Amino acid sequence: MTQSPRTALITGASSGFGQVYARKLAALGTKLILTARREEPMQALAAELKVPVRILAADLATDHGIAAVAHVIRETDTLDLLINNAGFGTKKRFWEADYSQQEAMHRVHIMATLQLTRAALEGMVARKRGAVINVSSVAGFIQSQGSISYCATKTWMNSFTEGLAMELHGAGSPVQVQALCPGYTHTGFHAAAGVDKSLIPGWMWLDAEYVVEKSLQGLQNNQVFVIPDWKYKAAAALMRHLPLSIRRRLGRPGGDRRT
């Protein structure tokens, strides 16, 4: 995308990557539509930005929430960028984790991404401009004990994004799609989820500003997959080729976590 987006809609905009995207896009003069379950953090964010901001409180784990956001997407004819950022994960074994949370994760990562992307592309393809960023994870290239649903849904997101890129290219459309696949990143999420960050080596952590900058640079370069930092690029490439016997030894089950 060579032009600054006229309007961007960001899901999961109450914290983490969502807020970083909002600040960086606002600096470009992009009008924003922010959506998340919690309205107060979005109101506080909007107050500091010098661009028009529309706030929509919606739970993307529900049909009503998805439909409400999809409706706003379809009625916004200046929408040039959709960022599917909302999401969460768990660390317990599948049969031990709260099933309702497992189901909600699939709805947020898959059904919300599916429906909101469809709503956005209908307009973007017709207008011949726009982009969709799906905030995925390097976990989408692997599988790990204790977070199999998270890895599986992020794998779907990566495959879905790649397929869309193929179809858009085949149709001669200038509309872009991107799967952003970061590793461990300082977003405030881990502390809120009760994850002991000290158990993860410092060299594995990325800065959220850096990750979002790489994502937006990726749009300029028409990159379908953006994996910030060489170590995560190497890990993604390696994990795809390791034998199952080795992959089975990786990962440890633990407590729930939100992303």
CATH of 7-247, one of 3.40.50.720, 3.40.50.11540, 3.40.50.300, 3.30.720.110: 3.40.50.720
**pLDDT, tens digit, for every residue of 236-256?**
777 666 665 555 554 444 433
Indicate if 232 belongs to the active site.
Answer: no
**pLDDT, tens digit, for every residue of 42-58?**
999 999 999 999 999 99
Contact 131, 177 (CB under 8 A): yes
**pLDDT, tens digit, for every residue of 123-152?**
999 999 999 999 999 989 988 888 899 999
Contact 37, 14 (CB under 8 A): yes
- Among candidate residues 21, 99, 150, 210, the one labeled active-site is 150
pTM (two decimals): 0.89
Per-residue pLDDT, 188: 56
- 196 pLDDT higher than 90: no
φ and ψ at 49, to 5 degrees? -95, 145
pLDDT confidence band for 199 (50 / 70 / 90): low
Cα separation of 11 and 7, whole Å? Answer: 13
**pLDDT, tens digit, for every residue of 147-181?**
899 999 999 999 999 999 999 999 999 999 999 99
The residues spanned by each domain of the chain are: 7-247
